[in-house]
Amino acid sequence: MPANSSAPGTVTLHRVLRAPPERLYRAFLDPDAMAKWLPPHGFTGRVLELDARVGGRYRMQFCNLATGQVHAFGGEYLELVPHERIVHTDRFDNAHLPGEMRTTVTFKPVSVGTELKVVQEGIPAMIPAEACYLGWQESLLLLAQPAEAAIPD
């Protein structure tokens, strides 16, 4: 099991970003922002539905730019604590990737910005944890670009 995982089918990521928690929280719930940063390298993304409230749902798809293959997924928001915590489920539309994942994102203000922690649990056995971890690393690098940009009003 990779050192970044605490249990089979679980990945944990930790980053410190030069951005306030408010901006990062918004990036996790804004459809245009999500389409820009969430798809890992080699994929494009499209948000199909997003109702950012507890009990609300979201749907998104990633398209492999090389093959054109589309992977759709979605879930429900279980917990939304503004600028502090987001908990949601994830489920792939693909019957070969069964089960429901749970993703918890926490935002903690620190002296240089925000400490960000992502824990994704229940990853289907067909997806190697290290592949999921790699995808999240790429996504979080992409998140840093718009989130850390200091653009004056």
> Going residue by residue through the chain (153 aa), what tens digit of pLDDT does each one get?
344 445 669 999 999 999 999 999 999 999 999 999 999 999 999 999 999 999 999 999 999 999 999 999 999 999 999 999 999 999 989 877 878 999 999 999 999 999 999 999 999 888 899 999 999 999 999 999 999 988 777
Residue 104 region, left (φ>0) first, then alpha (ψ -120 to 50), else beta? beta
From 71, 47, 39, 35, select the one nearest 135 (Cα to Cα): 39
How remote is the C-alpha of 10 from its chain's centroid?
14
Residue type, 79: E
Assign domain 11-148 one CATH number from 3.60.15.10, 2.40.33.20, 3.30.530.20, 3.20.20.70.
Answer: 3.30.530.20
Other beta carbons less than 10 A from residue 123's beta carbon: 22
